[in-house]
Amino acid sequence: MEPGNTPAADAGLPARARIGFFVGKGGVGKSTLASATAVAAALAGERVLAVSTDQAHSLGDVLGVPVPPTGSPEPVRILTEEGSAGGGHLDALALDTLALLETRWRDIAPVIAGSLPESDLKDIAPEELSAIPGIQEVLGLHQVARLADSGDWDYVVVDCASTADAMRMLTLPAAFGMYLERAWPRHRRLS
């Protein structure tokens, strides 16, 4: 398929950005390689977003600019179109997955309370939900996908947490699907 000739483009939707994940053991240079890749792509003319899902958030340190952790999708502009040789730009974002969890819970808690008025779920504080294994990783991965689908960037470079956390994040959709199938088999969902 040629660039620009995608199902999303045919439907008038923005094209999904390529996503590159930088994964490895802590201290091996993931943030350095992710930053170098992002800068090189921006200088080559691409619209690039560098995202940190690591709680250490070293991306800003490597890039030499403050990139405060946030739950909002508002990145910091690092390189502008005018400042780069190829006309691209580089934005950086450090995801605060606890803030994402709090926002999502505030959005869904009223729906749950309306659907299950006898339930105490509405009384749960968002911070309590962080104890659910992998919940913050799922929200981080979901946010990366939303950013890639936005049409604002050609390439999203993800500086992941150390290997164990990153692998948990990347394998969670398959694990969730497996448990969903066990709890609510496809033949029951579709009948």
Please, which residues have CB within 8 angstroms of residue 129's CB and are 6 or more apart in sequence? Answer: 101, 105, 135
Give this prediction's pTM: 0.76
67 and 107 in contact (C-beta within 8 Å)? no
Query: Strands 155-162 and 47-52, how do they pair?
Result: parallel
How far is the C-alpha of 26 from the C-alpha of 29, rounded, in Å?
A: 8
Instruction: Give residue for tokens 């504080």.
Output: 125
Please, which residues have CB within 8 angstroms of residue 55's CB and are 6 or more apart in sequence? Answer: 161
Of residues 131 and 6, the one with the higher pLDDT is 131
- Per-residue pLDDT for 158 more than 60? yes
Query: How many CB atoms lie under 10 A from the CB of residue 119?
Result: 11
Position 56, amino acid: A
Nearest alpha carbon to residue 34 among 62, 11, 7, 15: 62
Of residues 106 and 123, the one with the higher pLDDT is 106
Q: pLDDT tens, 54-89?
A: 877 788 899 999 999 888 888 999 988 765 557 799
Whole-number average pLDDT of the chain: 83
User: Which residue ranges form the domains of the chain, and what is each CATH number?
Assistant: 14-189 (3.40.50.300)
Over range 161-177, report the average pLDDT.
Answer: 71
Q: Which 3 state secondary structure label does DSSP give 92?
A: strand
If pLDDT is split at 50, 70 and 90, which confidence band does 2 have? very low
Q: Is the dihedral of CA 185, 188, 189, 191 positive or negative?
A: positive
pLDDT at site 4? 47
